[in-house]
Structure 1
Protein backbone atom coordinates (compact mmCIF):
# COMPACT_ATOMS: atom_id res chain seq x y z
CA UNK A 1 0.00 0.00 0.00
CA UNK A 2 2.78 2.42 0.93
CA UNK A 3 4.61 1.58 -2.30
CA UNK A 4 1.50 2.31 -4.36
CA UNK A 5 0.91 5.67 -2.68
CA UNK A 6 4.59 6.52 -3.08
CA UNK A 7 4.47 5.57 -6.79
CA UNK A 8 1.38 7.72 -7.37
CA UNK A 9 2.91 10.69 -5.52
CA UNK A 10 6.20 10.29 -7.39
CA UNK A 11 4.43 10.13 -10.76
CA UNK A 12 2.35 13.21 -9.90
CA UNK A 13 5.36 15.18 -8.67
CA UNK A 14 7.41 14.25 -11.71
CA UNK A 15 4.65 15.17 -14.14
CA UNK A 16 3.84 18.39 -12.31
CA UNK A 17 7.54 19.29 -12.12
CA UNK A 18 8.01 18.91 -15.89
CA UNK A 19 4.93 21.00 -16.60
CA UNK A 20 6.24 23.71 -14.31
CA UNK A 21 9.66 23.85 -15.98
CA UNK A 22 8.08 24.47 -19.41
CA UNK A 23 6.24 27.54 -18.07
CA UNK A 24 9.23 29.21 -16.44
CA UNK A 25 11.09 30.54 -19.47
CA UNK A 26 10.74 30.66 -23.22
CA UNK A 27 12.88 32.15 -25.97
CA UNK A 28 11.76 33.98 -29.09
CA UNK A 29 13.92 35.24 -31.95
CA UNK A 30 12.65 38.29 -33.84
CA UNK A 31 14.14 39.82 -37.00
CA UNK A 32 14.40 43.60 -36.60
CA UNK A 33 15.34 46.63 -38.69
CA UNK A 34 17.95 47.78 -36.15
CA UNK A 35 21.19 49.16 -37.58
CA UNK A 36 23.74 50.06 -34.89
CA UNK A 37 24.79 49.99 -31.24
CA UNK A 38 22.36 52.80 -30.41
CA UNK A 39 19.52 50.73 -31.83
CA UNK A 40 20.76 47.71 -29.87
CA UNK A 41 20.90 49.65 -26.60
CA UNK A 42 17.46 51.20 -27.15
CA UNK A 43 15.75 47.89 -27.96
CA UNK A 44 17.47 45.89 -25.21
CA UNK A 45 16.63 48.59 -22.64
CA UNK A 46 12.96 48.85 -23.67
CA UNK A 47 12.51 45.09 -23.69
CA UNK A 48 14.42 44.71 -20.43
CA UNK A 49 12.03 47.13 -18.73
CA UNK A 50 9.01 45.16 -19.90
CA UNK A 51 7.09 42.88 -17.58
CA UNK A 52 8.02 39.24 -18.01
CA UNK A 53 11.16 39.80 -20.10
CA UNK A 54 14.16 38.15 -18.47
CA UNK A 55 16.74 39.13 -21.07
CA UNK A 56 17.14 40.59 -24.54
CA UNK A 57 20.13 40.48 -26.86
CA UNK A 58 20.32 41.92 -30.36
CA UNK A 59 22.81 40.41 -32.80
CA UNK A 60 23.68 43.31 -35.11
CA UNK A 61 25.21 41.01 -37.73
CA UNK A 62 21.89 39.37 -38.57
CA UNK A 63 19.56 41.91 -36.83
CA UNK A 64 17.91 39.16 -34.79
CA UNK A 65 16.72 39.95 -31.26
CA UNK A 66 16.76 36.98 -28.89
CA UNK A 67 14.37 37.47 -25.98
CA UNK A 68 14.04 35.23 -22.93
CA UNK A 69 10.70 35.66 -21.21
CA UNK A 70 8.25 34.28 -18.67
CA UNK A 71 5.20 33.04 -20.62
CA UNK A 72 2.96 33.63 -17.60
CA UNK A 73 3.71 37.37 -17.77
CA UNK A 74 4.14 38.12 -21.49
CA UNK A 75 4.03 36.53 -24.92
CA UNK A 76 5.60 36.75 -28.39
CA UNK A 77 2.97 39.19 -29.66
CA UNK A 78 3.65 41.59 -26.78
CA UNK A 79 7.40 41.37 -27.35
CA UNK A 80 7.00 42.15 -31.05
CA UNK A 81 4.66 45.01 -30.14
CA UNK A 82 7.36 46.54 -27.90
CA UNK A 83 9.86 46.37 -30.76
CA UNK A 84 7.35 47.93 -33.20
CA UNK A 85 6.41 50.66 -30.71
CA UNK A 86 10.10 51.44 -30.19
CA UNK A 87 10.30 52.27 -33.90
CA UNK A 88 11.68 49.10 -35.47
CA UNK A 89 10.25 46.36 -37.67
CA UNK A 90 9.62 43.03 -35.93
CA UNK A 91 9.47 40.04 -38.26
CA UNK A 92 6.65 40.93 -40.66
CA UNK A 93 5.29 43.78 -38.53
CA UNK A 94 6.14 47.31 -39.67
CA UNK A 95 7.49 49.83 -37.18
CA UNK A 96 5.11 52.36 -35.68
CA UNK A 97 5.63 55.42 -37.89
CA UNK A 98 5.57 58.01 -35.08
CA UNK A 99 8.06 56.01 -33.01
CA UNK A 100 10.26 55.46 -36.08
CA UNK A 101 10.25 59.19 -36.86
CA UNK A 102 11.44 59.95 -33.31
CA UNK A 103 14.53 57.75 -33.74
CA UNK A 104 17.83 59.53 -34.44
CA UNK A 105 18.22 59.92 -38.23
CA UNK A 106 21.09 57.45 -38.24
CA UNK A 107 18.82 54.73 -36.73
CA UNK A 108 15.98 55.02 -39.24
CA UNK A 109 15.40 52.36 -41.89
CA UNK A 110 16.53 54.75 -44.62
CA UNK A 111 19.94 55.27 -42.97
CA UNK A 112 22.96 53.50 -44.40
CA UNK A 113 24.14 50.57 -42.29
CA UNK A 114 26.91 51.55 -39.91
CA UNK A 115 28.77 49.88 -37.09
CA UNK A 116 30.00 51.12 -33.72
CA UNK A 117 29.88 54.79 -34.64
CA UNK A 118 29.26 57.14 -31.75
CA UNK A 119 26.31 59.35 -32.66
Structure 2
Protein backbone atom coordinates (compact mmCIF):
# COMPACT_ATOMS: atom_id res chain seq x y z
CA UNK A 1 0.00 0.00 0.00
CA UNK A 2 2.79 2.43 0.92
CA UNK A 3 4.61 1.58 -2.30
CA UNK A 4 1.54 2.34 -4.40
CA UNK A 5 0.91 5.61 -2.57
CA UNK A 6 4.55 6.62 -2.95
CA UNK A 7 4.46 5.77 -6.68
CA UNK A 8 1.32 7.83 -7.23
CA UNK A 9 2.76 10.82 -5.34
CA UNK A 10 6.05 10.53 -7.22
CA UNK A 11 4.26 10.45 -10.59
CA UNK A 12 2.16 13.46 -9.56
CA UNK A 13 5.25 15.42 -8.52
CA UNK A 14 7.00 14.61 -11.80
CA UNK A 15 3.95 15.78 -13.76
CA UNK A 16 3.90 19.08 -11.89
CA UNK A 17 7.62 19.52 -12.45
CA UNK A 18 7.28 18.92 -16.19
CA UNK A 19 4.39 21.38 -16.45
CA UNK A 20 6.37 24.02 -14.58
CA UNK A 21 9.38 23.54 -16.85
CA UNK A 22 7.35 24.19 -20.01
CA UNK A 23 5.77 27.35 -18.52
CA UNK A 24 9.20 28.87 -17.93
CA UNK A 25 10.46 28.27 -21.44
CA UNK A 26 12.61 31.20 -22.51
CA UNK A 27 12.05 33.26 -25.65
CA UNK A 28 14.27 35.85 -27.32
CA UNK A 29 13.21 38.98 -29.18
CA UNK A 30 15.40 41.48 -31.04
CA UNK A 31 14.22 45.09 -31.23
CA UNK A 32 15.82 47.89 -33.27
CA UNK A 33 16.09 51.03 -31.12
CA UNK A 34 17.10 54.67 -31.52
CA UNK A 35 19.74 54.42 -28.77
CA UNK A 36 22.96 56.34 -29.34
CA UNK A 37 25.46 55.91 -26.52
CA UNK A 38 26.48 54.05 -23.38
CA UNK A 39 24.05 56.05 -21.25
CA UNK A 40 21.22 54.95 -23.55
CA UNK A 41 22.43 51.35 -23.25
CA UNK A 42 22.51 51.51 -19.45
CA UNK A 43 19.09 53.15 -19.23
CA UNK A 44 17.39 50.66 -21.55
CA UNK A 45 19.04 47.58 -20.05
CA UNK A 46 18.15 48.72 -16.52
CA UNK A 47 14.50 49.52 -17.35
CA UNK A 48 14.00 46.26 -19.21
CA UNK A 49 15.80 44.34 -16.47
CA UNK A 50 13.28 45.67 -13.96
CA UNK A 51 10.35 44.53 -16.13
CA UNK A 52 8.40 41.47 -15.02
CA UNK A 53 9.40 38.37 -16.95
CA UNK A 54 12.56 39.79 -18.53
CA UNK A 55 15.54 37.58 -17.77
CA UNK A 56 18.23 39.44 -19.71
CA UNK A 57 18.50 42.56 -21.88
CA UNK A 58 21.53 43.53 -23.93
CA UNK A 59 21.90 46.43 -26.37
CA UNK A 60 24.45 46.28 -29.18
CA UNK A 61 25.30 49.94 -29.76
CA UNK A 62 26.81 49.33 -33.20
CA UNK A 63 23.59 47.86 -34.59
CA UNK A 64 21.25 49.57 -32.07
CA UNK A 65 19.54 46.20 -31.59
CA UNK A 66 18.27 45.22 -28.15
CA UNK A 67 18.24 41.47 -27.51
CA UNK A 68 15.83 40.48 -24.75
CA UNK A 69 15.44 37.03 -23.19
CA UNK A 70 12.10 36.67 -21.45
CA UNK A 71 9.57 34.31 -19.93
CA UNK A 72 6.55 34.25 -22.27
CA UNK A 73 4.19 33.30 -19.46
CA UNK A 74 4.99 36.59 -17.70
CA UNK A 75 5.50 39.10 -20.55
CA UNK A 76 5.43 39.37 -24.32
CA UNK A 77 7.06 41.19 -27.21
CA UNK A 78 4.49 44.01 -27.15
CA UNK A 79 5.17 44.74 -23.47
CA UNK A 80 8.93 44.77 -24.10
CA UNK A 81 8.52 47.24 -26.97
CA UNK A 82 6.20 49.35 -24.81
CA UNK A 83 8.89 49.57 -22.12
CA UNK A 84 11.43 50.76 -24.69
CA UNK A 85 8.99 53.35 -26.05
CA UNK A 86 8.09 54.58 -22.54
CA UNK A 87 11.81 54.93 -21.79
CA UNK A 88 12.06 57.43 -24.67
CA UNK A 89 13.41 55.34 -27.55
CA UNK A 90 11.98 53.97 -30.79
CA UNK A 91 11.23 50.24 -30.84
CA UNK A 92 11.17 48.86 -34.40
CA UNK A 93 8.21 50.66 -36.04
CA UNK A 94 6.96 52.22 -32.78
CA UNK A 95 7.96 55.84 -32.16
CA UNK A 96 9.32 56.89 -28.78
CA UNK A 97 6.99 58.50 -26.25
CA UNK A 98 7.62 62.21 -26.84
CA UNK A 99 7.50 63.24 -23.16
CA UNK A 100 9.93 60.47 -22.17
CA UNK A 101 12.21 61.33 -25.11
CA UNK A 102 12.28 65.02 -24.14
CA UNK A 103 13.37 64.05 -20.60
CA UNK A 104 16.42 62.18 -21.91
CA UNK A 105 19.78 63.97 -21.69
CA UNK A 106 20.44 66.03 -24.84
CA UNK A 107 23.17 63.60 -25.89
CA UNK A 108 20.66 60.72 -25.88
CA UNK A 109 17.97 62.38 -27.97
CA UNK A 110 17.44 61.39 -31.61
CA UNK A 111 18.89 64.64 -32.94
CA UNK A 112 22.21 64.09 -31.14
CA UNK A 113 25.22 62.94 -33.14
CA UNK A 114 26.45 59.40 -32.39
CA UNK A 115 29.16 59.47 -29.75
CA UNK A 116 31.07 57.28 -27.35
CA UNK A 117 31.02 57.83 -23.60
SS of the residue corresponding to residue 33 of structure 1 reads coil
Q: Which residue of 1 is the match for residue 6 of structure 2? A: none
Residue 23 of structure 1 and its aligned partner are, at CA, apart by: 5.0
Say how many residue pairs are matched. Answer: 103
CA distance in 1, matches of 2:29, 2:47: 16
Q: Which residue of 1 is the match for residue 31 of structure 2? A: 30
Cα-Cα RMSD: 1.9
Residue 24 of structure 1 and its aligned partner are, at CA, apart by: 1.3
SS of the residue corresponding to residue 55 of structure 2 reads strand
Deviation track 1:60-82 (CA, whole Å, cap 9, x = no partner) reads 00000000000000000000000
Residue 47 of structure 1 and its aligned partner are, at CA, apart by: 0.1
Q: What's the TM-score, normalizing by structure 1?
A: 0.80
SS of the residue corresponding to residue 110 of structure 2 reads coil
Deviation track 1:64-118 (CA, whole Å, cap 9, x = no partner) reads 0000000000000000000000000000000000000000000000000001x2x
Unaligned runs of 5+ in 1: 1-8
- Do the aligned residues in 1 keep the contact of 2:48 with 2:54 (CA within 8 Å)? yes
Q: What's the TM-score, normalizing by structure 2?
A: 0.81
Residue 21 of structure 1 and its aligned partner are, at CA, apart by: 4.1
Q: Which residue of 1 is the match for residue 102 of structure 2? A: 101
Unaligned runs of 5+ in 2: 1-10
Residue 22 of structure 1 and its aligned partner are, at CA, apart by: 7.6
Q: Which residue of 2 is the match for residue 64 of structure 1? A: 65
The answer to whether residue 67 in structure 2 is matched with residue 53 in structure 1 is no
